[in-house]
Structure 1
Amino acid sequence: MTALASENCSFRYQLHQKTQPLDVNCLLFLIVLGKIFLNILTLGLRRKNTYHSFMEYFCISLAFVDLLLLVNVSIISYLRDFVLLGVRFTQYHICLFTQITSFTYGFLHYPVFLVACIDYCLNFSTITKLSFKGRKLFYFFVVLFLWVSVLAYTLGDPSTFQSLTAQSPGSHQCTLHASTQSYWLSLSMVAILVVAFVTCWSEVVTLVQAMRITSYMNETILYFPFSSHSSYTVSSRRILLSKLLVCFLGTWLPFVPLQVVILLLQVQIPAYIEMNVPWLYFVNSFLLATGYWFNCHKLHLREMAFPVDPFVNWKCCFVPLTLHHLEQTEKPISIIIC
């Protein structure tokens, strides 16, 4: 009886030892697959008439790299042990490729944020006047250069290389990198949003109570009517800030509490999950709102083509600046009562 129990325990241990790598690989496959579905859903929900920008092209490239990671994980998990171009691939390479992807994604937050800032600064200043094809080609090469340079830095960094080589091929554990760049970026954006909301919270409450959903140029927008007893001028930065906050939080409200929870609990999310298309569009809307606020003195110029957000309709913040009689020319669809 004792021998039978010992043999049964040994069989369970061997079975668990054999199936553990498969379970880890299946979990990784499901996570990457879910992320790809989220990327596709986000890209499908964006507005089709958006202004082409660097962030648009980078989001598409990120979805493509996620798809490549899923293909590599699927092929290696299915074949398990094979030779391609003289290189032997085993299930160890699933962890290796995922680690390289995590390190690369983790180093991309600051460069993407910086390049997007430069792109919008040039667009708002109208320094560059490129054609549509020239702009597309320019963004394509900028995105390609960014991926290649960050990947080269990742593979050439001594600390990163040491972390990659420290993982033994026979180990069942796969330690993935969590980015500190995303933490400080999230902390900065949340802090700015909190300061902005505290600064003009009374204006935000007034706007929410008075705003209406209306139709403007065959498009549904939020309309903030003028108040005859307002103590602020039309060009007031404080009023514009409150409008930008209402539009931004009205679209990305679930993301803000999520970022606060992640920051407070200091959740360590692997970089290959944390860098995703919804997160990039959230950052993109934040950058656009910042750009519109700093360039509020240009918003009355109808001939200037400003960047368009794929998700947030910032037009409702600027209609009162260019059309003073919208209440007479457009019939409201409904009234929001808070």
Structure 2
Amino acid sequence: MTALSSENSFQHQLHQTNRPLDGNCLLFLIIFGKILLNILTLGMKRKNTYQHFMEYFCISLVFIDFLLLASISIISYFRDFVFLGMRFTNYHICLFTQIISCTYGCLHYPVFSIACIDYCLNFSKTIKLPFKCQKLLYIFTVILIWISTLSYVLGDPAIYQSLKAQHSYSYQCPFYSSEQSYWLSFAMLMALCVACVTCCSEVVTLVQGIRITSYKKETILYFPFSSHSSYTVNTKKTLLPKFIICFLGTWLPLVFLQVIILLLNVQIPAYIEMNVPWLYFVNSFLIATVYWFNCHKLNLRDIVLTVDPFVNWKCCFIPCTVHNLEHFEKPISIIIC
């Protein structure tokens, strides 16, 4: 009887010991996988792109994820220790993750707005700065947005009370899902849907006659055009279906994923939802929007056309300015945007 009681007590203690550790290991694997995905995405991007705000923010996001992963690993290994007069336990793993999640969840609108302002200013060239000054400005902006958002999260009494209540009444570590991400994704998908409905027939016509060819050692899409079309003037109506094809040709899987998430109302933790592929998806959407609204000002020789790390927007313009492109370049079968 005593042996059976001791065995049950040992199993109960073992279960209690492994329960939070399993959660910590799962959290470690999730964040580690996210970091690998972010690094892989950064490695896959086009190398001939010019630096912009979103590029620096993506790098800072990988750095913050790495700090979170390092903190979780250290606390999970030592479990209970004192550092600089502060005692750290498994509780702080959940606390740090919740704080980072709330910070990520509040960053979608600011990052979207700053990136949009950045592209508008670069496109209009209202402010011309040397490369080093522009680089320092981007770094300062990224640091400022992180500090201000983290200060808002830590200083907001409503968020603090919410975190305190969640830890008091729930054994498992709860997660924070961002409303900003939901509505931003919803707005972009609705805009894309309206654009597709507006020029549905033009998109179908272009897809049926589209060709993949090489121009100046770069793979482009050759869009069909009539013999009486203008080769130098691009209107919003003619460019919109080309923008849609180039955008969906690169980001269609992510678009489908966003549709499924919205339809099923999937609640994704904010520390997973804010990632580099999502930011580059938003980045391409912003660039296409800025190009479309300023199509009459576009200049093919302008470096602004190469800022997108994944979509080659020159595919939308070069075939309109070069006559009989297929006569001097042989089509190839691989597209690289």
TM bin (shorter chain): over 0.9
How many aligned residue pairs are there?
A: 334
Return 202-211 or 22-31, whichever deviates more.
Answer: 202-211
1:242 lines up with 2:202 in the alignment: no
- Distance in 2 (alpha carbons) for counterparts of 1:216 and 1:33: 40
Cα distance in 2, alignment partners of residues 171 and 203 from structure 1 = 54
Q: Give 1:121's aligned residue.
A: 120
Q: CA deviation at 1:230?
A: 6.9
TM-superposed deviation, 1:236: 3.0
Superposed counterparts of 1:261-272, under 5 Å: 261-272=260-271
Q: Deviations over 1:258-313 (max 9, x none)?
A: 101111111111100000000000000000111111111012x3443315210011
Which whole-Å deviations, capped at 9, do the CAs of 1:181-237 have from their partners, x for residues lacking one?
000000000111111111111111111111111111211111213233779995232
- 1:285 matched to 2:284? The reply is yes
Higher mean C-alpha deviation, range 171-180 or range 38-47:
171-180
Q: What are the Cα deviations for residues 19-72 of structure 1, in whole angstroms up to 9, with x where unaligned?
A: 100000000000000000000000000011112110010000001100110000
Distance in 2 (CA, whole Å) between partners of 1:65 and 1:81 is: 23
1:10 Cα deviation from its structure 2 partner: 4.5
How far the C-alpha of 1:15 sits from its partner, in A, is: 2.2
How do residues 123-272 of structure 1 correspond to structure 2 at under 5 angstroms?
Answer: 123-168=122-167, 172-228=171-227, 234-272=233-271
Gaps of 5+ in 2: none
2:304 is paired with a residue whose SS is coil
- Residue 323 of structure 2 corresponds to which residue in structure 1? 324
Equivalent residue number for residue 304 of structure 2 = 306
Match of 1:38 in 2: 37
Distance (whole Å) between structure 1 residues aligned to residue 323 and residue 227 of structure 2:
12
User: Deviation of residue 5 (structure 1)?
Assistant: 6.2
1:198 counterpart letter in structure 2: V
Q: Which amino acid aligns with 1:237?
A: K
**Helix, strand or coil for the counterpart of 1:188?**
helix
- Distance, in Å, in 2 between the alignment partners of 1:209 and 1:259 is 26
> Partner of 1:280: helix, strand, or coil?
helix
Cα 1:335–1:183, aligned 2, differ >3 Å: closer, same or farther? closer
Deviation at 1:175, TM superposition (A): 1.1
TM-score, normalized by length of structure 2?
0.93
Shift of 1:334: 4.3
| Partner SS, residue 225 of structure 1 | coil
Is the CA contact (8 Å cut-off) linking 1:211 and 1:335 kept in structure 2? Answer: no
Task: Mark the CA change 1:49 to 1:88 in structure 2 (over 3 Å): closer, same or farther.
Answer: same
- Checking the alignment, whether the CA contact within 8 Å between 2:97 and 2:271 is kept in structure 1 is yes
Larger deviation, residues 216-225 vs 324-333? 324-333
Write out per-residue CA displacement over residues 231-259 of structure 1, whole angstroms, 9 at most, x where no aligned residue.
Answer: 99952322211001001001001011110
Residue 91 of structure 2: aligned partner:
92
Q: What secondary structure, in the 3-state scheme, does the structure 1 residue paired with 2:51 have?
A: coil
Higher deviation after alignment, 160-169 or 173-182: 160-169
Contact 1:21 1:172 (8 Å CA) reproduced: no
CA contact (8 A) 1:232 1:239 kept: no
Contact 1:212 1:334 in 2 (8 A): no
Structure 1 counterpart of 2:214, one-letter code = S
Q: Counterpart in 1 of 2:54? A: 55
Given that 1:214 and 1:330 are in contact with CA atoms closer than 8 Å, whether structure 2 keeps it comes out as yes
Letter of the 2:303 partner, please give it: A
- The letter of the residue matching 1:240 is L
> C-alpha separation between the residues in 1 aligned to 2:272 and 2:177?
9
2:275 alignment partner in structure 1: 276
| Comparing 130-139 and 146-155, the one that deviates more | 130-139
- SS of match in other structure, 2:144: helix
314-323 or 196-205: which moved more?
Answer: 314-323
Distance (Å, rounded) in 1 between the aligned partners of 2:300 and 2:190: 33
Partner AA of 1:174 in structure 2: C
Cα distance, 1:323 vs. partner? 2.3
TM-score normalised by L of structure 1: 0.93
Q: Aligned letter for 1:173?
A: Q
**Coordinate RMSD, CA, aligned:** 2.3
SS where residue 317 of structure 2 aligns? helix
Secondary structure of the residue aligned to 2:303 is coil
Q: What's the CA shift for 1:14?
A: 2.9
> For residue 273 of structure 1, what is the amino acid of its counterpart?
I
Task: Find the aligned partners of 1:327 and 1:235 in 2 and give their Cα distance.
Answer: 20
Q: What is the identity, as a one-letter code, of the residue corresponding to 1:323? A: V
The 2-side partners of 1:49 and 1:131 are apart by: 19
Equivalent position amino acid for 2:61 in 1: L
Query: In percent, how many aligned pairs have the same letter?
Result: 69
Unaligned regions of 5+ residues in structure 1, if any? none
